Structure 1
Amino acid sequence: MSASLRRDRRGPTKDQPCAGSPPRARSLPVRRAAVMRTAVWLAVAAGPLALVASCARPDTTVRTTPAPVTRSAELPAPSVTPAGYAELVLGLWLRGGGQDTTAADELHTMAPLVPMPVWGAKRPVVERLAAVRTARQAKNAWSITIAVTFKEPAGDRTDATAAAPSVRYFALPVLAKDAGSMPAFAVPAAPMEVAAPRVLEETATPYERQVPDGSALASTVAEFLSAYLGAEGGVERYLAPGVRLPALAASSFAAVQVDELRAVQATGGRPGQDGTTVRVQAMVTATDAAGGQWPLSYALAFTARAGRWEVTALQSGLEDTTGKAKTASSTAHGAPSSSAATAQSVVAGEAAARTWGITR
């Protein structure tokens, strides 16, 4: 036992650490902390260095400044329509120059700045007024041109005014703007007589090809128009499947005669293959029950199906060669077709069908 005690009191051996000295593993946390501090300082230093490097590097990107957009000064859409007011004022002005004191009083209330005319022995008798041009001059300023139809010219028939035209034109300045729930109008000056509008030359028509008399197409056109204008039965049997055409409010014609029939496409009048389309314009004379003759014209589109022509569109007659209307047209659409011409006719009929009430 004493030998054992003596053995324990001896110094450490070669493989045993001295008492009180830290083990080797305790130095790892110290090194890890040092590494982390170094990484943090490197990260902090990297920010300014990256900024300096980016400023020193030349920029190869070409930056363009967008050109300023120049927009024309467009006036907002007006919410007032002064044409009717101008017609009323001009009518009172023409009536108030005579013995119609009521018209003079109303004109003084509506347009106090407008002087009254003074007629002689023959005052003008107005039959009708109609606004033919509305020109917007500024935000709230308008110039309204009005056509006036007189029953007889002003002045004595024996003098020079006897040759005066029965239709004359006057331009009236009008100020108009919204004023709360109602518009406000003002006429700052008297009307001025102006020249008549220029008449356009006759425009070229796409209906250049004559449809043979007695052909299936000519017969279908005559029968359809006779039915549509009331001389015969209903029009349903002439319409393509799915096409609806409202009847006329008054069917007072006793007979319908086709005077001329022309087409856009070259056609012999035969239906041909299913899906074949043709557009025609018929000049007709409709005779009423009293013997009166009415010259009318109808533009129609037909599609061939099952060996017969069927009406697929009631048009305005202003459509171009592709079937698209140059102005607001009245078109029905119905039977589908594989041809491009029928597809164009259907597209053109979308808006126009709402105008005439033609539906599928």
Structure 2
Amino acid sequence: MPILKLRNMKKLICFLGFITVGLLHAQSVENPFTLNGYINSDTGTVRLILTGDSSNYPPIHFLTIGKVKNGQFSFNGVLSYPLSFRLLFLGNKEYVSDLFYIDVGAQTIRCHVDSMREIPDMNNATMQELYQFKQHHYTPQTIQAYTKKHPDSYMAMWQLARMLSFNYNPNLDTAYAYLSDAVKMSYTGARLFEKLKAASVLSLHHVFPNFTLLDRSNYPTKLFTHEKSNHYTLIDFWFSHCNPCIGQFPQFKQIYQQYKNVNFDMIGISIDDNQNIVNWQKVIDEHQLPWKQLLDKNGVQANQLAIDTYPRNFLLDNNHVIIQKDMTPEALNSFLAEKMHKQKSSFSNVP
């Protein structure tokens, strides 16, 4: 399962009482909210945690940590529009909810510690919309109809941001275009526009950008040293604490060893920050990764390209054009085996 890397956060769960993220995009009207909660545990601690990339959120200045007393808790503050959260409970059990939306006004949330990662029971308007939305299987193709019918939906805006975090699809641009100006001009709406524009660079049939990164000796180096190559190249984005990323290395090593001399290459790009550079080097050495490894320190380039989930990879042709994305080791092996078989067949037919 891909991991969502939260910008400027060392852990998925932020154990701070206040969360302040992003820069102020525009002055928006803020309205008060109250969230009264109920959980089947007498005491414990509850925390509101962000869902997805923290840069999608406007500045949040309300308290995001609370105490459970007699199975009840509450949060209050001000919002400009509905925001997406998960609820973390620490007590006799550890519980994390699925995502939910806090809306303006008064609302209640009911959680059960045995219902791990399920959508909690809530009674605000945005959650009622989410319950209806979840009854259908929406894709980048079909969500266009939803945003066209519901242009004022902040829930749809958040769903677009979630879809984009996993993969860019041109249909997301069309779906975004149907949103109302008010939604687009929200902090999250403006960030979504920027990310859609950035992510389009990495769509299929586009040339992969040749940016400058750091090698293992901390020297700046271009991703590609030549305008063209004579092989397929897999660009693999990862970081040193991403278990799904590291879990693929043994299979990728087998594939690399099998095809490295027959028109295939790999380049690894880590987004580790300064504090984890040693870990990055350690993982490379421990797994004896034989392909080129580069560092996108703090994920600067990845962030500009709207890469939020890991592992992410891009298969390029000899002109560095993206021809496949997010390939599993099995899919990559099948692709290369087929291409090499066709190549051998064409050679054998030469008189």
TM-score by length of 2: 0.21
Structure number, greater radius of gyration: 1
When you count helix as a share of all residues, which structure comes out higher? 2
Which has the higher relative contact order, 1 or 2, with Cα contacts under 8 A spaced 6 or more apart? 2
